[in-house]
Amino acid sequence: MPTPTDADRTTNRAADRLLLEAVRHSVGRTAAICLVTTAAAGAALALPLVLGRALDAVLAGGHGPQAARWTAAAAALIGLSVLLDAIGELLTGTANARGTAWARTRLLRHVLRTGSRAADRFGTGDLVARLVGNAAYAGTAPANVAATLAAVIPPVGGLVALALLDLWAAAAFLLGMPLLAALLRVFVRDTTDSIAQYQRGQGEIAGRLMEAIGGAATIAAARTAGRERARVLEPLPELGRQGHRMWRVQGKSSARAVMVVPLLQIAVLAVAGLRLAAGELSVGELLAVSRYAVLASGIGVIVGRLNALVHARTAARRLAEVLAEPAMEYGPHRLPSGPGTLELSGVRARRGGRDVLRGVDLVVPGGTSMALVGRSGTGKSVLAAVAGRLADADAGTVTLDGAPLAALDHGSLRDAIGYAFERPAPLGRTIGGTIGFGPREAGPRRVREAARAACADGFVRLLPDGYDTRLTEAPLSGGETQRLGLARAFAHDGRLLVLDDATSSLDTVTELRVAEALVNDIGPRTRLIVAHRATTAARADRVAWLEDGRVRAVGRHEELWRLAGYRAVFEGAPPHAERAGEGEGVDEGARASGERVGRD
């Protein structure tokens, strides 16, 4: 087993705190489970003694009143044990369901508060695996803690009862206790590592599967389904090895217990038999001693409970890794009045171990539109996310009308900034609900106006129930989904609208109409548009050309078009195309320093 690092110890402590928080959240149900399981354990402890007394009474007096009373008491204890077990199972199922809901809600809220940080680090598939599978295991912690506490009562109580009935029998059992403790210690150690590796493999497969589902059309078109299947299942052999390892660990522990426990019980029975022969024990007490020896050596129950706790703690560790991602904090201030001027100063953003944005300085005057262009990987989408504070920059400041975005309260920030994405998520139950979805639900009239501006009204009206059509009954193309996303952005007021390649799936005519709506139909907003088409850049008031994480130049599209490097962004030319004469009409110093080109 690898030696734990400081980071591992920190994560383990965070996982333990998370489990304690889960127990506190379910303290009432946990206490009820503990009470019921403790009562059941008490009944199990009382039963051997009562059975022994009943046996002695039968042997001594036949079917007299005393024998009847002890026999009735034994029957009552058996019935009570059955009833308590049923209640315990019901409480455990309820507690597990509520605990799982709490863990999933806690994780989901934190993921949403981190913006894109959690998804960037762990991947969507792995996050889903943690949210669905690991949260379910962690949610069982409160019930398992209560059940484990109760599971300790029969062994301890059995040992105490042995000592009260006969010290020699108890002494015989105590000789084997160190071996039982060693078995438990080895089991917990080996199980923890194998479960951690197994859950990690599950997350990796889930991540690859999500990637494959997202690119299903590309995979089918390229006829690479076989290779993709092999890629998704590549971690499966390791997953299988860890699964077999878990079973081997449990099997070895059970096998060792099978060897040790009967030997202990035989030793106790041998001593008790000698005490019976010497007249120090009755037949009923011998029966009780044998049953208490079984209870005292109940390692199987404890192993099962410890296995569940190890699963829960390992799952909580994976949740703690996500919860350790810093959440996006908001300030106390409201946004001051202004036209929506956006300014980025010295913005640096690091993703995947490299600087995607390197000291970006950019100003978008209020009420104007600016297109962001550049080759893939130059940081356009990251800049768009930082500009609307879907993600925080690692350095630098972003202000809207002079107010730092980090200082604004959540409501003020989200009311002021709208987004439309390349692949918008269809949220809400109906088409109209998807368009109106937002901090404040847009009314039917505003929904229809926004749909017309986004060129979505035509195809929506053709649906069976129009705007009331359920999303599950409305198969949408990529372009139609984009238009719904645009309509959702148009339906809500704000000062800044960020379009992250939100028109890439639209045909030229539709894109032209949407571009006209951006200018004429959505009010005097500032617009920041991630653009991959020259036509989109040409319609913007100004263009910011990104290269290697920096703003190389800012100006009007027709002015930047004189630069061969700028043209190559749209023409697909090599990044270091021939630049002879590319600076005609452009100040060389401005071009080299990334200053604005042309008129401001």
Q: How confident is the model at residue 8 (pLDDT cuts 50, 70, 90)?
A: confident
pLDDT at residue 420 in the model: 85
Is 2's pLDDT higher than 90? no
What's the CA angle centered on 463, arms 461 and 464, to 5 degrees? Answer: 115
The C-alpha atoms of residue 434 and residue 430 are separated, in whole angstroms, by: 6
Write down all domains in the chain, each with its CATH number in brackets: 8-323 (1.20.1560.10), 342-593 (3.40.50.300)
338 conformational bin, left if phi > 0, alpha if psi -120 to 50, beta if neither: left
Q: What is the pLDDT of residues 72-107, one digit of tens each?
A: 888 998 899 899 989 988 998 888 999 999 999 999
Q: What value does the mean pLDDT take over residues 533-555? A: 89
Distance CA(584)–CA(396), nearest Å, equals 33
pLDDT at 583 (0 to 100): 41
Query: What pLDDT score does 360 carry?
Result: 92
pLDDT-wise least confident of 159-163, 199-203, 264-268, 369-373: 264-268
* Helix, coil or strand: residue 353: coil
Identify which has the larger pLDDT, 14 or 422: 14
Q: What was the pLDDT predicted at 558?
A: 92
Mean of pLDDT over the chain: 81
Binned at pLDDT 50, 70 and 90, residue 594 comes out as very low
For residue 596, the model assigns a pLDDT of 41
pLDDT at site 290? 80
The confidence score (pLDDT) of residue 152 equals 79
**β partners of residue 497:** 418, 527
Q: How confident is the model at residue 515, as a pLDDT?
A: 73
The predicted-structure confidence for 397-435, as pLDDT tens digits, reads as follows 999 999 999 999 988 888 888 888 877 887 888 888 888
Provide the token pair at 201: 């493999």
Higher per-residue confidence, 521 vs 148 = 148
Q: For residue 184, name the pLDDT band (cuts at 50, 70, 90).
A: low
Cα–Cα distance for residue pair 183/258, rounded to 1 Å: 11
Concatenated DSSP letters of 47-68: HHHHHHHHHHHHHHHSSSHHHH
Residue 286, classed as helix, strand or coil, is helix
Is 194 in contact with 321 (CB distance < 8 Å)?
no
The pLDDT of residue 260 = 64
Helix 299-323 crosses helix 141-165 at what angle (to 10 degrees)?
A: 150
Distances (CA, A) of 325 to 118, 237, 320: 7, 30, 9
4 vs 264, more confident: 264
Give the whole-angstrom CA distance, residue 251 versus residue 247: 6
- For 136-175, what is each residue's pLDDT tens digit? 888 888 888 888 877 778 877 877 887 888 888 778 777 7
Write down the pLDDT at residue 582. 40
> Could you tell me what percentage of the chain is helix, strand and coil, using 3-state DSSP and rounding each to the nearest 5?
65, 10, 25
pLDDT of residue 581: 37
The predicted model gives 312-328 an average pLDDT of: 88
- Rounded to an integer, the average pLDDT of 280-284 is 80
pLDDT interval class at 591 (50, 70, 90):
very low
Determine if the pTM surpasses 0.75. Answer: no
Round to whole Å and give the CA distance between 362 and 554: 9
Span 553-562, mean pLDDT?
Answer: 92
Share of the chain above pLDDT 70, in %: 86
Buried b (16+ CB within 10 A) or exposed e, 99-117: bbebbbebbeebbebbbbb
b/e burial code for range 160-181 (CB count within 10 A of at least 16 → b):
ebbbebbeebbebbeebeeebe
Mean pLDDT of 517-539: 79
Please check whether residue 318 is in contact with residue 134, taking contact to mean a CB–CB distance below 8 angstroms. yes
Pairing label, strands 542-547, 369-373: parallel
Evaluate whether 496 touches 525 at the Cβ level (below 8 Å).
yes
| Choice between 350 and 522, residue whose per-residue pLDDT is larger | 350
Dihedral through CA 67, CA 69, CA 72, CA 78, nearest 10? Answer: -90
For 330-349, the pLDDT digits (tens) are 889 999 999 999 999 999 98
pLDDT-derived band at 570 (thresholds 50, 70, 90) equals confident
Q: Are 312 and 168 a contacting pair, CB within 8 Å?
A: no
Quickly state the pLDDT bin for 61 (edges 50, 70, 90).
low
| Helix runs in 62-116, H state only | 65-113
Q: Which residue has the tokens 């110093």?
A: 589
End-to-end CA distance of the chain: 64
Give which of 280, 15, 66 is closest to 165, Cα–Cα.
Answer: 280
**Which residues have CB under 8 Å from 589's CB, separation 6+?**
595
Q: What is the pLDDT of residue 304?
A: 66
Looking at residue 341, what is its pLDDT? 93
- 186-229 confidence digits (pLDDT tens): 666 667 677 777 777 877 888 787 777 767 767 777 778 888 88
pLDDT at 83: 92
pLDDT tens per residue, range 440-452: 788 889 889 888 8
